Amino acid sequence: MLEGSERDELLATLGWWVEAGVDTLVDASPRDWRTPPPRATIREIPASLPEPELVLRTGTASPPATVTATTIGELRHAVEIFEGCPLRTGNVSTVFADGNPEADLMLIGEAPGAQEDRMGLPFVGPAGQLLDRMLAAIGRNRTTAYITNVTFWRPPGNRTPTPAEVETTMPFVRRHIALVRPKVIVALGACAARALTGDVTGIMRLRGQWRTISVEGTDFPILPTLHPAFLLRQPEAKRLAWADLLAVKAKLDAD
């Protein structure tokens, strides 16, 4: 039995794997890393193999023809029963939103991660903790902001959602925006920025540039910025995100 520092080190390693999206045990048998694994021949491969998770979650994508929800509650229910997005297969939760739907600031990211899937709320892992600090820096929190994603289910291994997967959920996202009617939208990261603006320019060029998107006949100002998960990997970029946050605060204060 492991004790003391060895146990703590193992738990820390397992926690890191979970945060990275590792949720499948590939091989439980010990193996000397210095010895190459045996090479399989065609005869050694079983006749039928279970389909891997990535295949199971890349089935036929079918966006809804219309989304007629008239309240946030109705929209949440419509998302929860929607079966047209392959990502919903195998997840614990439908991660809809968090915060105040009456807030004038709406933040939209790309997709839930492992912790978000377990808890059923967006941005609750390390990136979410950083987002909370970012909001606090401009005098906001989850009672004065509204947070969601362009997809509502965790992609396998926390990968970026594909354009086809995002397309299936965008009718819900647009209806979400129309119901919340925020004064300002912040697109967190490249995936959300591209889905909302239609601009495939890299996020480093998109960030900090105000755009206007039209949703159901209403125009909304939107500012793309860097995703908190990116900032955790590239902390030197926080100065860019800070400039974007100041621009958001100035716009909200001016309106």
- Alpha-carbon distance of 93 to 48, in angstroms, equals 30
Residue 127's pLDDT is 96
Q: Which of 57, 48, 186 is nearest to 110 (CA)?
A: 186
Q: Where are the alpha helices (DSSP H) in 183-237?
A: 190-197, 203-206, 228-233
Specify the DSSP class assigned to residue 191.
Answer: H
Residue 89's pLDDT is 87
Asked whether the beta carbons of 191 and 198 are under 8 A apart, the reply is no
Identify the residue whose tokens are 């500012």: 223
* Assigned token pair, 47: 């006749």
Residue 60's pLDDT is 58
CB neighbour list of residue 218: distance below 8 Å, 6 or more residues apart: 178, 181
Residue 139's pLDDT is 97
Evaluate if pTM is beyond 0.95.
no
- Alpha-carbon distance of 195 to 180, in angstroms, equals 18
Asked whether the beta carbons of 183 and 176 are under 8 A apart, the reply is no
CA distances from 131 to 12, 67, 105, 230 (A): 23, 29, 13, 11
Residue 45's pLDDT is 35
Residue 14's pLDDT is 53
Asked whether the beta carbons of 197 and 213 are under 8 A apart, the reply is yes
Length of the chain: 255
Per-residue pLDDT of the chain in tens (255 residues, 90 and over written 9): 555 555 555 555 555 444 444 444 444 444 443 454 444 343 433 444 333 333 334 455 677 768 999 999 999 999 999 999 999 988 999 999 999 999 999 999 999 999 999 999 999 999 999 999 999 999 999 999 999 999 999 999 999 999 999 999 999 999 999 999 999 999 999 999 999 999 999 999 999 999 999 999 999 999 999 999 999 999 999 999 999 999 999 999 996
Sign of the torsion angle spanned by Cα atoms 159, 160, 162, 166 = positive
- Alpha-carbon distance of 233 to 19, in angstroms, equals 13
Residue 64's pLDDT is 79
Identify the residue whose tokens are 């989850």: 142
